[in-house]
Structure 1
Amino acid sequence: MQVYKVGGAVRDRLLGLPVTDVDRVVVGATTEEMLAQGFRPVGADFPVFLHPKTGEEYALARTERKSGRGYGGFTFYASPEVTLEEDLIRRDLTINAMAEDDQLNLTDPYHGQRDLEARILRHVSPAFAEDPLRVLRVARFAARYAGLGFTVADETMDLMRQLSESGELQALTAERSWKEISRALMEDHPQVFIQVLRDCGALKVLMPEVDALFGVPQPETHHPEIDTGLHTLSVLEQSALHKQPLTVRWACLLHDLGKGLTPEEEWPRHIAHEHTGLKLIKAVNERFKVPKDCQELALLVGQYHTHGHRALELKASTLLELLQSFDIYRRPQRFEEFIVACEMDARGRKGLEQRSYPQADYLRGAAQAARAVAVQPLLEQGFKGPELGEALKRERLKALKIYKDNA
């Protein structure tokens, strides 16, 4: 019975990066032997155990065979006869198919270390094409390691293209897809994730609404980069550079979907794209069963981001409607996330990345002015029910007019 660290722990140590998750493979052991040593079994699909003291995961070496569609369409075989090399060959990328023992002796049958040095993401074997989730995983690794100069090997990109065209991507569950998408969006270069998916044809299968933005022009005066798809990638890049949370990054990805519906004869203008895009944002949200906070912010940013850009010109009444739409009194954080999403949108334009965005502080001040209106004096004047709501609205409008005059 031999224990090896495998996968990400080995890869990141060799790259000189912090090791967070440690996976271990046990070669030459049976389930019974693991149980006899006090290991606790977890997972229904294949034999994984928790260490009796540390709680860390140990998996028996196993092989797998394609038996159905999608990520879950595999049967696993674990036995003491399965070798370390047989276990490693079923992994996705060569850089994830290395193992080391306690003395840091490296087992690298598929040249993962060579690919690490060459900064290449390369599949281990043709079995890569049996698991559609690997398309998303490779794109995510490309986003994670883009800053180190990693790119996807041409032959791996060919397999990803085949998978995208095969219809297998549709077999992925919403939950599995969202797990990969959300993790990828939180990497340092999330725009690379979207670009790689587009390059292999997966984006038009998974998110045709985003794919449709590429090649759609915008007015050059406002958007020197012109192409809406490239703008979306830049906005996503800015959201990562400014360390924004997932809610903001998701909203940044979807904010301009309506521009993909503009008839060509109306290009490069996109009148009312904020409203036409809402049904598309809703569709993408539902497709991946996106968490509620991400869903809500994406819809609000899609609908109101141009209000954000024109904040300084808005009438006090329009400003009040905007604040009410976000329920700034009970959910101040959501409005703050809207403001930064608008700022990322403004910065995601070629040559304008460093331009100041005074609208942000102006909107924060407006929210503060509206929230400062006290309810108690109105209650003391006898207002209640719907009348109280109207009186409160009038006072907030007054406060916003004063704020606007003094801004």
Structure 2
Amino acid sequence: MQAYLVGGAVRDSLLGLEVKDRDWVVVGATPREMLSKGFKQVGSDFPVFLHPGTREEYALARTERKQGRGYHGFTVYSAPDVTLEQDLKRRDLTINAMARTEGGELVDPFNGRRDIDDRKLRHVSEAFAEDPLRILRTARFAARFHPLGFTVCDQTMALMKGMVASGEVDHLVPERVWQEFQRALHEKAPEAFFEVLRDCGALAVLIPEITSSAVFTRAMAALRCVHNRADTDTEERFAALLSSLDEPVALARAKALKAPNDCQNLARLVTAFTPQLRNSDPHNPEADALLNLLDQADFWRRPERFSQLLNVLECTLSADFPPLNLLRTASKAATGVEPKALLAQGYKGKELGDAIRHERLERIRDAIAHTKD
């Protein structure tokens, strides 16, 4: 029984990056032996165990064989006779197919260290083509390591194009696609993820609405802008990605991707507000129109989402876009209305709602007037 440190921990240490998670492969052992040493088994698809002390994951060496379409169509074989090299060969990229012995010696049967030096993302074997999810993973690693100069090698790009042409990407389930998208949106250079998907043809399957040159350029510019802001979340990044689309198109794609409701709603608001603000006249602003936008955004109940909306619109329209400044001014002015004070004055029911709206309109009108002074 031998244990080897594998995957990302080996890769990141060679890149001089912080190692956050350490995964191990165990060769020559059975589940019974692992349990007898105090390991706790987790997962049902194949034998994975938690170390009794470190709680790090130890997986028994295994091989995989393609049985059907998509990323679910595999059978797994795990037994003491599976070698370390066989286990590493089933992995996606050479930079992820290295190991270290417990003594620290590098085991690199597929030249992952050379590809790290050359800054190349390269498939380990032709078995890469059996799992369409690896297209998304490769694109995500391109987004993570783009600042370090990594690119997808020509042979791997050709292989991914062939996978798309054969229809493998069509068999990816939306929930799994969304998981990869969400992670990619927070990588070091998220636009590189979508550039790789575009170049191999997968983007035309997954988000065909943004594949045209003009729309893609605007989408990447908006995504890059939101990414460069501090502490932006998934909702804002996803809304920026779809920001160049019409509202019904963006919402339909968000639903097809099984994006969470908060992501769908922010994308809907961004794509609804963009044309309205572009078509407004900043020289003759209407308080009614500004208040209607605040109502449309559900600003009164969801001020945090309104802040997200402004963040994205500042990237899609520009931070100093006059109608956007007016909307921001209106929101600040209208928040000063206190329903409790109006209740104390005797307003109730519909009259209270009318009084609140009237007071908000007056405050917005005064604020607009001051911007003209």
| Code of the aligned partner of 1:121 | L
Alpha-carbon RMSD across the aligned residues, in angstroms, is: 1.6
Match of 1:389 in 2: 353
Q: 2:302 aligns with which of 331, 343, 355?
A: 331
Counterpart-to-counterpart distance in 1, 2:4 and 2:324: 52
Match of 1:143 in 2: 143
Match of 1:190 in 2: 190
- Is 1:373 the counterpart of 2:337? The answer is yes
| Code of the aligned partner of 1:290 | A
Match of 1:20 in 2: 20
Q: 1:236 is paired with a residue of what secondary structure?
A: helix
Of residues 149-158 and 232-241 in structure 1, the stretch that sits farther from structure 2 once superposed is: 232-241
Counterpart-to-counterpart distance in 2, 1:311 and 1:297: 24
| Code of the aligned partner of 1:165 | A
Pair 1:360–1:52, CA change in 2 (3 A):
farther
| Code of the aligned partner of 1:379 | L
Match of 2:224 in 1: 237
Query: Following superposition of structure 1 onto structure 2, how do residues 2-81 of structure 1 map, counting pairs within 5 Å?
Result: 2-81=2-81
Q: Give yes or no for contact 1:188–1:241 (8 Å, CA) kept in 2.
A: no
Counterpart-to-counterpart distance in 2, 1:131 and 1:185: 22
| Code of the aligned partner of 1:135 | I
Q: CA deviation at 1:308?
A: 4.6
Q: TM-score with structure 2 length normalisation?
A: 0.95
Counterpart-to-counterpart distance in 2, 1:404 and 1:23: 59
Q: Give yes or no for contact 2:11–2:98 (8 Å, CA) kept in 1.
A: yes
Of residues 31-40 and 311-320 in structure 1, the stretch that sits farther from structure 2 once superposed is: 311-320
Counterpart-to-counterpart distance in 2, 1:241 and 1:393: 37
Q: CA deviation at 1:27?
A: 1.0
| Code of the aligned partner of 2:294 | L
Q: CA deviation at 1:168?
A: 1.4
Query: Following superposition of structure 1 onto structure 2, how do residues 80-99 of structure 1 map, counting pairs within 5 Å?
Result: 80-99=80-99
Pair 1:361–1:4, CA change in 2 (3 A):
farther
Match of 1:399 in 2: 363
Q: 1:59 is paired with a residue of what secondary structure?
A: strand
Q: CA deviation at 1:358?
A: 6.2
Q: CA deviation at 1:252?
A: 0.6
Q: Give yes or no for contact 1:236–1:253 (8 Å, CA) kept in 2.
A: yes
Counterpart-to-counterpart distance in 1, 2:296 and 2:22: 45
Q: CA deviation at 1:363?
A: 3.5
Counterpart-to-counterpart distance in 2, 1:23 and 1:386: 62
Q: CA deviation at 1:53?
A: 2.7
Counterpart-to-counterpart distance in 2, 1:241 and 1:116: 26
| Code of the aligned partner of 1:337 | Q
Q: Give yes or no for contact 1:311–1:362 (8 Å, CA) kept in 2.
A: no
Q: Deviations over 1:47-96 (max 9, x none)?
A: 11112233221100000000111111100001111111100000000000
Counterpart-to-counterpart distance in 1, 2:339 and 2:128: 62
Counterpart-to-counterpart distance in 1, 2:360 and 2:60: 65
Q: TM-score with structure 1 length normalisation?
A: 0.87
The alignment of Structure 1 onto Structure 2 pairs a total of residues equal to: 368
Q: Give yes or no for contact 2:326–2:368 (8 Å, CA) kept in 1.
A: no
Pair 1:360–1:99, CA change in 2 (3 A):
farther
Q: 1:280 aligns with which of 249, 266, 289?
A: 249
Q: CA deviation at 1:22?
A: 1.7
Counterpart-to-counterpart distance in 2, 1:390 and 1:319: 17
Q: CA deviation at 1:361?
A: 5.4
Q: 2:55 is paired with a residue of what secondary structure?
A: coil
| Code of the aligned partner of 1:256 | S
Q: Give yes or no for contact 2:222–2:243 (8 Å, CA) kept in 1.
A: no
Of residues 306-315 and 93-102 in structure 1, the stretch that sits farther from structure 2 once superposed is: 306-315
Counterpart-to-counterpart distance in 2, 1:188 and 1:359: 32
| Structure 1: gaps spanning 5 or more residues | 215-226, 258-276, 348-354
Q: Give yes or no for contact 2:218–2:244 (8 Å, CA) kept in 1.
A: no
Q: 1:145 is paired with a residue of what secondary structure?
A: helix
Q: Give yes or no for contact 2:5–2:99 (8 Å, CA) kept in 1.
A: yes
Of residues 145-154 and 235-244 in structure 1, the stretch that sits farther from structure 2 once superposed is: 235-244
| Code of the aligned partner of 1:280 | V
Q: CA deviation at 1:307?
A: 3.9
| Code of the aligned partner of 1:37 | K
Q: Give yes or no for contact 1:120–1:150 (8 Å, CA) kept in 2.
A: yes
Q: CA deviation at 1:279?
A: 2.2
Q: Give yes or no for contact 1:311–1:363 (8 Å, CA) kept in 2.
A: no
Counterpart-to-counterpart distance in 1, 2:360 and 2:132: 53
Match of 1:317 in 2: 288
Q: 2:201 is paired with a residue of what secondary structure?
A: coil
Match of 2:241 in 1: 253
Q: 1:4 is paired with a residue of what secondary structure?
A: strand
Counterpart-to-counterpart distance in 1, 2:32 and 2:288: 72
Of residues 59-68 and 166-175 in structure 1, the stretch that sits farther from structure 2 once superposed is: 166-175
